[in-house]
Amino acid sequence: MALDHAILVSLLEKPGSGYELARRFERSIGYFWTATHQQIYRVLKRMESDGWVDVRDVPQQGRPDKKEYSVAGPGRDALSAWLHAPIEPESVRHDLAVKIRGAAFDDPAALIGEVRRHRQAHTDRLEHYRAGEARDFPPSGADGPPDAERELQHAVLRGGIAYERMMIAWLDDVLATLARFEAGR
């Protein structure tokens, strides 16, 4: 289970509240992990009672107070142990692929709208990632020593971009395949 570790990594990058973590999971972290606030609060509570994170009450003006979490020693140790242990290459789950194979027993052409919707969603995400890349990782000339945190974040973002591009190309392929059955009915 990696939600614990995803939260630890995010808190190492920058301490924050459960709410802030939930927003990060909606945005930048969202391209490799998703989590709702309910999950996050539960895990934060558990990690707090296990001594993996420290909490600090932060009073705010014009806003509800918040609890700022940061990673404690045992949490860092737990993350390190997980980083050094091998994980299995994960399995994929694509609802849309189930639908595409299922369409053979229903009406293939009826799926065209749905596939277009998904294609649009992936186009939007790609745009979003590319905007983030342009903002956070501008092309740089010769500069100082490489910054591991930045470069690894960028590498993960490039993975998100590659994924969206692959999906768009594949959905175009699927649309071309479906079109053959639209005429052939």
Partner DNA sequence: TGCAGCATGTAAGTCGTTACATGATTTC
Partner DNA sequence: GAAATCATGTAACGACTTACATGCTGCA
**Which residues 10-29 are close enough to bind its own copies by CB under 8 A?**
12-13
Per-residue interface string for the shown chain with DNA, residues 55-94, x marking contact by CB under 7 A: -----x-xxxxxx-----------------------x-x-
Rule CB under 8 A: say whether 137 interacts with its own copies. Answer: no
Q: Which residues lie below 8 Å from residue 56, measured CB to CB, with a gap of 6+? A: 67, 68, 69, 70
Map the footprint of DNA across residues 7-36, applying CB under 7 A: 17-20, 22-23, 34-36
Integer Cα distance of 157 and 136 in angstroms: 10
- The CA distance from 125 to 31, in Å, is 9
User: What's the chain's length in residues?
Assistant: 185
What's the angle, vertex CA 60, arms to CA 75 and CA 68, rounded to 5? 5
Residues contacting DNA: total by CB under 7 A: 27
- Among 39-47, 49-57, 95-103, 128-136, the segment contacting its own copies (CB under 8 A): 95-103
> CA–CA separation, 16 vs 108, rounded Å?
47
# of chain residues touching its own copies (CB under 8 A): 71
Please identify which residue in 27, 38, 147, 162 interacts with DNA, judged by CB under 7 A.
Answer: 38
- Minimum CB distance to its own copies smaller for 66 or for 137: 137
